[in-house]
Structure 1
Amino acid sequence: MRALLTKYKLVIRFILTFVLVYAVLSIGYKFYLDFSEDSKYYPDYMTHLVGKQTESVLTGFGYRTSVVPMIEEPSLLVIVNQKILARIIEGCNGMSVIILFIAFVVAFSDGYKKTFLFVLAGSILIYAVNLIRVVLLTVGLYHYPWHSELMHEVIFPLAIYGMVFLLWMYWVNHFSKKVKSSNV
């Protein structure tokens, strides 16, 4: 048993670190959501921010857009040219994807400074791509409502998770090169 633990020490450390970081960030985010209910930002700050930025971008592209709170449930309605097109819920703000990204990068960390900078840059990139995803999905729903399921369930999740996967692969390849060069 000891030989197996020694042989797979790095794998076990990766898994335990990933699970621990993911759990801590997820629980922290859950607490944030629970305590943000009384906030002036409905339904929570991050979802509100995505909603307002979606409204700004769509308006900038010439769509008469408003994003309004939906009181019946914690979400925002996206209205384009007086037509309700989408609902932005907490899951649309990209935070769960960012938490998953951070947990992997930290579990495969390469020093504090590099890890911090990569997590920061990657999180900003994921947030920006997620915002573009929400905007493009709204435009897609406006022009091609018959493809709503394909866009929402396949194309746009593939884009955001595909980008996260590419960031992970960059991180792993960057880290692996350093490990290989230090063993020579």
Structure 2
Amino acid sequence: MKNIFIQYKPFFTFLIKFVLFYFVFAFIYNQFLNQFDVSKFELDSITKMVSEHTTYLMHFFKEDYYVIPNKSESSMKVIYNGKYVARIIEGCNAVSVIVLFAAFIFAFASNRIKTLLYIIVGAILVYVLNIIRIGLLVWAIYYYPDYQEFLHGTMFPLFIYGVVFILWIIWVTKFSKYAK
């Protein structure tokens, strides 16, 4: 049994680092969310910020787009071309995706500075792509409402997780201590 741990030490090291990082940051994020009272339909500030940034993006393209707080749940209503098209909830802000991304990078860490920079740049990239994803999703749902389930449940998650997977591959093959 002891021989197995020695033989697979890199795997167990990766696993322990990944799980610790993920659970610590998931716990911190959960504590952050606990300060908002969902029974009063309060929405966290990160989701509000994502909603505002998506509005800026859509206005850049001269789209008739705005968001308003939802009075019946913790979300932002998305109004596109005068029609209530979608809602932005806490799960739309990509924080959980960013934590998952960062946990993997941390688990394959090389030096601290390089790892921290890659996590920061990757998190910003995922955040920006998530804003683009939301804008495109609203546009697509408006023009193709029959495909809402496919777009929201398959196409756009595939997009964001696909980007994260590519970033992981780049990290492991180019920057991690295992790259050589």
TM over 0.5: yes
Distance 1:164 1:146 in 2: 28
Aligned residue in 2 for 1:154: 154
Aligned residue in 1 for 2:144: 144
Note the C-alpha offset of 1:98: 0.1
- The within-5 A match list for 1:121-132 is 121-132=121-132
User: Any conservation in 2 of the 1:22–1:100 contact (CA below 8 Å)?
Assistant: yes
Aligned residue in 2 for 1:116: 116
Note the C-alpha offset of 1:111: 1.0
Q: How many residues align?
A: 177
Distance 1:180 1:49 in 2: 36
- The within-5 A match list for 1:32-181 is 32-37=32-37, 43-175=43-175, 178-179=177-178, 181=180
Any unmatched runs of 5+ in structure 2? none
Distance 1:15 1:84 in 2: 44
Any unmatched runs of 5+ in structure 1? none
1:31 aligns with 2:31: yes
- 2:5 is matched by which residue type in structure 1? L
User: Any conservation in 2 of the 1:101–1:164 contact (CA below 8 Å)?
Assistant: yes
User: Could you give the per-residue CA deviations for residues 113-164 of structure 1, whole angstroms, max 9, x where no partner exists?
Assistant: 0000000000000001110000000111111111111111111100000000
Percent identity, aligned pairs only?
Answer: 41
Distance 1:19 1:63 in 2: 42
Distance 2:178 2:162 in 1: 25
Distance 2:71 2:19 in 1: 35
Note the C-alpha offset of 1:180: 6.4
Cα RMSD (Å) of the superposition?
A: 1.6
SS at match of 1:35: coil
User: Any conservation in 2 of the 1:37–1:44 contact (CA below 8 Å)?
Assistant: no
SS at match of 1:78: strand
Residues 172, 74 of structure 1: alpha-carbon distance in 2 compared, 3 angstrom cutoff: same
Relative to the length of structure 1, the TM-score reads 0.91
User: Any conservation in 1 of the 2:78–2:84 contact (CA below 8 Å)?
Assistant: yes
Residues 180, 28 of structure 1: alpha-carbon distance in 2 compared, 3 angstrom cutoff: closer
Note the C-alpha offset of 1:36: 4.1
